[in-house]
Amino acid sequence: MSGSPAPTSGEVTGDDAVARDANVSLALLGRDRSPFLPTTFWHWDADAAADVLVDRDRDPRTWNAIAAGDGFVVTQWNDGTTDGPGRERVPTCSCSMPTTVHSMLDALEVGSGMRVLEIGTGTGYTAALLKDRVGPSGTVVSVEIDEYLATRARANLAGVGVGVDVITADGLADHSIGGPFDRVHVTCGIRVVPATWIERTVPGGRIVMPWGTHFAPSHDLLLTLTAGVDGTASGRFEDGLSYMKARGQRTAWPQAPEKWWEHQDATHSTSAVPGAWVEGALTGFGAPVLGLLLPNTVKTVEDRPYDDDDDDAAAADRTTTLSLYRSGPTGLSCARVLYGTTADTTTTAWGPDDLAAEFLAALRWWRRHGRPEAEGFGLAVLANDGRSTQRVWFGEPNETPSWSL
């Protein structure tokens, strides 16, 4: 599976008996994941605050304990170009937490005899689970963009006698995959739902995926779309989780000019919005919602040193910097929001879009509507001539407000 949920997504754990079981994947999902794991993988060690290599040949006891547990394990870094964690290295394949896999499969509602398309084969484990559920009369086609991972997955599936058709292709763009399908199961974080998935899903069929925004890249949302007629699909956001992003939809960070905030065209202002509002939104469940309100926007948050010589108590309190960036047809837009815990905020904006004003407006909107969580929103997708458009709705699909992404 080309997706790795963050530890926070393990909050959906099923009953306590399952959590105590010696093998979570076997008890919860009906199949042990151990045969699908490589002899070496990386496991997050909370005490060391690092990804630690676990080798079955050197330490079989630890390997078996982790494989039987409810943690995720990383099986590939940097699309296979590096052999472990380190500076500027990102995980690109994993075997996800069994409890998170359970949540995804529950949402999918796959049954006997169904035709299922999976995007992101990874280790092949979830493809096997899907085949278990569709039975001998159903079919599972799993698509993996990475040739090495696809080859390993085929071997893993053959080793346990599970018949799944594993295709090496770009599941986001390849139009030769076939179909139609009753279900589409996506194991990587998605930003834009490809038209090809909707076009290959029968009316009434389900498409389940981790969906998120570039604004909150670590806060994906479980999204279940129900396919309609004429290339439409719609569904409500559910549980929060975090998956590795699809290779074709990873966040591209804009290259902003050095010290753009000192540019003569930059605008500076002070807002009465309390810094506590900003802090509360960014550190709580407001970040995914702000991502819905600020399309195609990326952010960084960093503390800045306290200035002992600053006589302005309010300015001294503004020790956190939120930076916003957006690349658009008219150029790059940048913004900074300086805030603290008690003072108001100061902003700087540069470029064609006033991202500072947009951010503060989004923050006010969120608070004015009672600080709704992402579950109060949904996504409608229209596929037309191989392209898709996305519209976010708040409340109910046919109500306002709604806006395009």
Task: Domain ranges for the chain, please list them.
Answer: 7-97, 99-249, 260-368
Q: Which one of the listed residues 96, 142, 271, 333 is annotated catalytic?
A: 96
CATH homologous superfamily for the domain 99-249 = Vaccinia Virus protein VP39 (3.40.50.150)
Name the token pair of 378: 């949904």
The whole-number pLDDT of residue 344 equals 81
Alpha-carbon torsion (103, 108, 111, 116), positive or negative? negative
The whole-number pLDDT of residue 178 equals 86
Region class of 73: left (phi > 0), else alpha (psi between -120 and 50), else beta: beta
Report which DSSP code applies to 63. H
Name the token pair of 258: 């050095």
Residues with pLDDT less than 50, the chain: 1-20, 306-310, 313-314
Q: Before 38, cis peptide (omega within 30)?
A: no
Q: How far is CA 31 from the centre of its chain?
A: 25
CB 251 within 8 A of CB 244: no
The whole-number pLDDT of residue 87 equals 56
The whole-number pLDDT of residue 280 equals 87
Rg (CA), the chain: 23
Active site residue 242: no
Tell me: domain 260-368, CATH 3.30.160, correct?
yes
SS3 157: helix
Name the token pair of 184: 């589409």
| C-alpha to C-alpha distance for 402 and 399, rounded to whole angstroms | 7
Describe the strand order of the beta sheet including 232-241 as a list of residue ranges.
165-168, 139-144, 115-119, 181-186, 201-211, 220-227, 232-241, 377-384, 387-394, 402-404
**Domain 260-368 in the same topology as domain 99-249:** no
The whole-number pLDDT of residue 255 equals 83
The whole-number pLDDT of residue 104 equals 96
| C-alpha to C-alpha distance for 296 and 251, rounded to whole angstroms | 9
| C-alpha to C-alpha distance for 156 and 163, rounded to whole angstroms | 11
Residue with tokens 């179909």, as numbered in its chain: 179
